Amino acid sequence: MAESFAPGHPIVVRHTRGARTFLVWSANVVADDDTLLALWIPAGAPCLRPAVRDELPYEQELVERPWQPPGVLQLWPAGAAHAIWLLGDAWYVNLQEPFRRTALGFDTADQLLDLVRTRDGKWRWKDDHELASAVEEGFLSADEAATIRAEARRVIAADPFPTGWEAWEPEPSWPLPGLPPSL
């Protein structure tokens, strides 16, 4: 494993496809080892997001929009094509490429499809229409979309909840992470 980041270390997460970066956020590392990367994105953390919401992100200009409350704890199992987000009364699963380490932090690529699981065990697929549009527009192939949906079904079958991280709280002394002048 490449050198890990210490807890509290500010990093940058870039979502990239080919040479195009389509989403960037800053975060603090919570844990970084051979099995798990845990990140904290506090409210107010700088983010670069697509200028137009509710459209495919891959070809859009990025604008700065800070992370809105509440903050989110993200759990990225090593080698997995998803991340678990702990959000209030629901758990959220972001389908994404396995993370790759960089000098600034980590690169991945959001796969557009998401899952939501309520605390009472009900699953809901989210944004399947975005994945279908990405295939129609040629941003993803039908085979890539099938692989993404298969990962979603694996997560549902494994049902990784509760995670054991539900009571975690951020260290109050951690600084608000930032974005470097160039990415």
Domain ranges of the chain: 10-158
Give pLDDT tens digits for 78-129.
Answer: 999 999 999 877 799 999 999 999 999 999 999 999 999 988 899 999 999 9
**pTM for the full predicted model:** 0.91
Q: Which fold has domain 10-158?
A: FomD barrel-like fold (2.40.380)
Residue whose structure tokens are 């709280």: 169
Number of Cβ within 10 Å of residue 57's Cβ equals 21
In this structure, the strands spanning 90-96 and 62-64 are: unpaired
Mean local confidence (pLDDT), 60-81: 92
CA distance 97 to 109: 5
Give pLDDT tens digits for 127-168.
Answer: 999 899 989 988 899 999 999 999 999 999 999 999 999 999
Q: What is the pLDDT of residue 53?
A: 62
